[in-house]
Amino acid sequence: MLSCIVLSILSFIGGGFAQAATEYVDPDNGITFWGITDPVHLVTHGYVFPPISAGSTEFIGEIVAPISTGWAGVSPGGEMVDNLLLMVWANGDTVMGTNRFATDYIQPVPYAGPIITNLPSTKVNSTHYKWVYRCQNCTVWDGGSLNTNAFVAPAWVFSSIAVDDPSDINTDFQEHTDFGFYGSNFSAAHASAEDYNNWAAGGTGSSGGSTTTTTTTTTSTTATSSPTVAPTPYDYIVVGAGPGGIIAADRLSEAGKNVLLLERGGPSTWETGGRYGPTWAQGYDLTKFDIPGLFETLFTDSNEFWWCNDITVFAGCLVGGGTSVNGALYWIPTSDDFSTATGWPSSWSNGKHDPYVAMMQERLPSTDHPSTDGERYLEQVYSVVGQLLNGQGYNNITINDNPNFKDHVYGYSAYDFINGKRGGPVATYLQTAQARSNFRMEIYTYVSNVVRNSSTILGVQTNNTAIGPNGYVPLNPNGRVILSGGSYGSPRILFLSGIGPSDMLEIVSKDPTYGPQLPPQSDWIDLPVGYNVSDNPSINLVFTHPSIDAYDNWATVWADPRPADAAQYLENQSGVLAQASPRLNFWRAYGGITDNVVRYVGDFYLRFLYIEISSLFKQLQGTARPGAASINTTMSYNASTIFTITAYLSTGITSRGRIGIDASLRPQPLVEPWFEDPGDEPVLLQGLEDIISNMASIPGMTMITPDDTMTMEEYVSLYDRSTMDSNHWVGSNSILQVVDENVKVMGTDNLFVIDASIMPRLPMGNPHGALMSAAEHAVANILALEGGP
């Protein structure tokens, strides 16, 4: 399988790295390196250079990795493509160190030019392997070079998965499972000639002459400095290739504007250049993100490069954003989803939003039978729960044919899969955008902040020095920036741009890198960024029924799927694997129990699986939560017949949370939004009690969570609040609060937001359908606004 190390194009632009290199002495060899030990994988990476005045093109490096590490690597230049890559793994007692090169985001291949010499302290022991190497002819390579006299951002990569053939120095390998960057002042990492020459020859210890701490120098670095890229201005810079950003960029480029779409992550589906797929699908141009039936494996795969590793809830950081990792449940919005009563401007209400829903449906129709043969598979749950709901007076409908029918209705789950594969905005809007010469997308490009002169945005600051000087990308005259970084990503960019509540801007101001870059305090724009946040509180009920096929809890679909199902899927994208796990959805309206607010209990997510996911740490936690583990042990049950009903509190939620950043500038919930208002919990409790009210009428149906030792009330009250996350975050830049009716950030001339953060309230169903029609509406408003490019 082709692989790609996901290394960002990144050079130092002012830092903002969680870690900065420090000087340390390796006790095994006495070499003074500059480097880091990453706090998660505990891999150490270090470099030391000869004196600057030597004009040398070599360095000594080391990588020290825990023995369980599949492989570890570095890119001293901080980029994957057209950069020298050094990687190492252990083959028994032998350290296998090699240099590689990639001309694209593909398998890096062995590269001629560098001369690598393993130094004597290279070793494997019971806990670690250590590669200490001299790398000659290593600061200049095809199309690039390393500035050893500057503050730079080297990259590291890590894989928990072994290379394909550890005994083969030229082996292929799968893409990393994690990566990162750190700031390093290479200009300080130069040893004396005496020490360097001693170490390079395999000697140890130091002459006492410490590393030269050359912070200023008159030495010419012309030969090795990064090429300066001329600034290329754009009419529109869109930040984030999630559904909001993709739709915005497509419509803007369709209107003839010069558009740059910047995405911090890498490719996802095969069509976008993604190559991470199961072994059984090799040769079929299918990735994990293409195959709907692999949805549940996103949460169980030890390789999880698709999640934003600096956001404490699940968020997709790759092309497509959340729509490349979500369940793809796709609901046509109701009229109420865009009413003034739900916080939308009158210019969006009373039918004025309908044309945009139609535009979305034209580009992206929904299906409730995604298998290409038109058949439905694994429908036993539909039958059992359908019977249950029939007994409660529900009607069976085609849900998206009747978007406004959301009381006592159920139907087949609807998706935006296309031809049995993940579709969504990536397979539609992005494709048309990419066909235009006035559209450009840059991946692995992280935007830290907008650069502004008071209320006027001038451009964006990125980490990608290939697209602008020091990563800065300017706007054309009258140009505009659109933030589409999602409910967590966009607020962070605003905070780092001096826009938001003062407590968040104070945090940024204390950051040694970004503090000095903030606009003067007199230019701070005080807006409630991060407030008014909602996510559906959700609670799982787990049942068994003898007719159910639990499909091995989806545990085998990645490595060892049922052969007939895999073969059927590969043949024509039909069968069980052409659909994500949900099978049935239902809604029921409730009047307020402790207030007069109508809420809907939507059981969006009916599946054959019982997993709990810690929203805070992005980890799968099995049944580790109050009241659950013992329940599973007190009742005997047949694991092959389990199914789950996840009940969400849908629209009408009155609880609100808050999103902010910590001192490391990581976005996270400051106030969790589930059951914050006392009016919400009783409604969800009532909904759960109603779901099971006639369970006795379904022969063989048994609820195992909660079990018969616990009332539903006890279950709900003990339910771990932090596991109620539904990944449906909205509201952190709510319309009419942070952005105006044209989604322009208030107090600015030319800064806009198009993503889930502008939605003032959760829609009736899982949100990405309503978000995409909102994006259609928002970008049309922007194009219609006078004064643009």
Ligand X SMILES: Cc1cc2nc3c(=O)[nH]c(=O)nc-3n(C[C@H](O)[C@H](O)[C@H](O)COP(=O)(O)OP(=O)(O)OC[C@H]3O[C@@H](n4cnc5c(N)ncnc54)[C@H](O)[C@@H]3O)c2cc1C
Marked catalytic residue, from 41, 45, 176, 728: 728
Task: Report in angstroms how near the CB of residue 147 gets to ligand X at its nearest.
Answer: 24
| Cα atoms in the Cβ-side hemisphere of radius 13 Å centred on 70 | 19
End-to-end CA distance of the chain: 44
C-beta of 132 vs 756, nearer to ligand X: 756
Amino acid at 375: E
CB within 8 Å of 437: residues ≥ 6 apart: none
378, 576 Cβ separation under 8 angstroms: yes
Task: Report in angstroms how near the CB of residue 727 gets to ligand X at its nearest.
Answer: 3
Q: Copy the structure tokens of residue 92.
A: 């028994």
C-beta of 149 vs 342, nearer to ligand X: 342
Q: Which helix (H) or strand (E) holds 570?
A: helix 563-572
9, 444 Cβ separation under 8 angstroms: yes
371, 420 Cβ separation under 8 angstroms: yes
Task: Report in angstroms how near the CB of residue 211 gets to ligand X at its nearest.
Answer: 35
133, 275 Cβ separation under 8 angstroms: no
**What phi, psi does 286 have (nearest 5°)?**
-130, 135
Using Cβ positions, the residue closest to ligand X within the complex turns out to be: 242
Indicate the pairing of strand 234-239 with strand 472-483.
Answer: parallel
b vs e for 486-522, b when ≥16 Cβ sit within 10 Å of the residue's Cβ? bbbbbbbbbbbbbbbbeebbebbbebebbeebbbeee
Task: Report in angstroms how near the CB of residue 613 gets to ligand X at its nearest.
Answer: 8
Query: What DSSP assignment string belongs to 307-355?
Result: B-TTSSS--B-BTTGGGGTS--B--PPPGGGGSGGGT--GGG-TTTTHH
The three-point CA angle 406-675-586 to 5° equals 20
CB within 8 Å of 686: residues ≥ 6 apart: 590, 593, 601
Site residues (vs ligand X, CB under 6 A)? 239-245, 262-265, 314-317, 321-323, 325-329, 446-447, 484-487, 489, 493, 727-728, 755-756, 766-769, 771
DSSP designation for 533 = B
C-beta of 90 vs 450, nearer to ligand X: 450
Task: Report in angstroms how near the CB of residue 154 gets to ligand X at its nearest.
Answer: 20
C-beta of 319 vs 548, nearer to ligand X: 319
Task: Report in angstroms how near the CB of residue 776 gets to ligand X at its nearest.
Answer: 13
**What phi, psi does 89 have (nearest 5°)?**
-150, 175
Question: Alpha-carbon distance 374 to 420, whole Å?
Answer: 10
Q: Which residues lie across from 590 on neighbouring strands?
A: 599
DSSP designation for 15 = -
C-beta of 205 vs 622, nearer to ligand X: 622
C-beta of 96 vs 743, nearer to ligand X: 743
C-beta of 545 vs 744, nearer to ligand X: 744
CB within 8 Å of 563: residues ≥ 6 apart: none
551, 640 Cβ separation under 8 angstroms: no
C-beta of 268 vs 750, nearer to ligand X: 268
- Measured between alpha carbons, how far is residue 414 from residues 158, 176, 331, 506, 769 in Å? 38, 34, 7, 44, 11
Task: Report in angstroms how near the CB of residue 582 gets to ligand X at its nearest.
Answer: 8
b vs e for 402-413, b when ≥16 Cβ sit within 10 Å of the residue's Cβ? ebeebeebbbbb
C-beta of 98 vs 484, nearer to ligand X: 484
Task: Report in angstroms how near the CB of residue 87 gets to ligand X at its nearest.
Answer: 25
Positive or negative, the Cα torsion across 346, 352, 356, 358? positive
C-beta of 327 vs 561, nearer to ligand X: 327
Task: Report in angstroms how near the CB of residue 759 gets to ligand X at its nearest.
Answer: 9
Question: Alpha-carbon distance 782 to 283, whole Å?
Answer: 43
**Segments in 128-268 forming alpha helices (H):** 193-200, 243-254
145, 139 Cβ separation under 8 angstroms: yes
Q: Which residue has the tokens 């990792």?
A: 325
C-beta of 330 vs 715, nearer to ligand X: 330
C-beta of 49 vs 554, nearer to ligand X: 554
Q: Which of 540, 571, 772 is nearest to 647 (CA)?
A: 540
Helix or strand or coil: residue 252? Answer: helix
Task: Report in angstroms how near the CB of residue 237 gets to ligand X at its nearest.
Answer: 10
Question: Alpha-carbon distance 243 to 768, whole Å?
Answer: 8
Amino acid at 87: M
Q: Which helix (H) or strand (E) holds 783?
A: helix 768-784
Q: By CB neighbour count within 10 A (0-12 exposed, 13-18 middle, 19+ buried), where does 291 fall?
A: buried
C-beta of 101 vs 307, nearer to ligand X: 307
Task: Report in angstroms how near the CB of residue 185 gets to ligand X at its nearest.
Answer: 25
Task: Report in angstroms how near the CB of residue 730 gets to ligand X at its nearest.
Answer: 7
Task: Report in angstroms how near the CB of residue 322 gets to ligand X at its nearest.
Answer: 2
Q: Which of 110, 102, 240 is nearest to 175 (CA)?
A: 102
Catalytic, 45? Answer no
Active site amino acids: 728
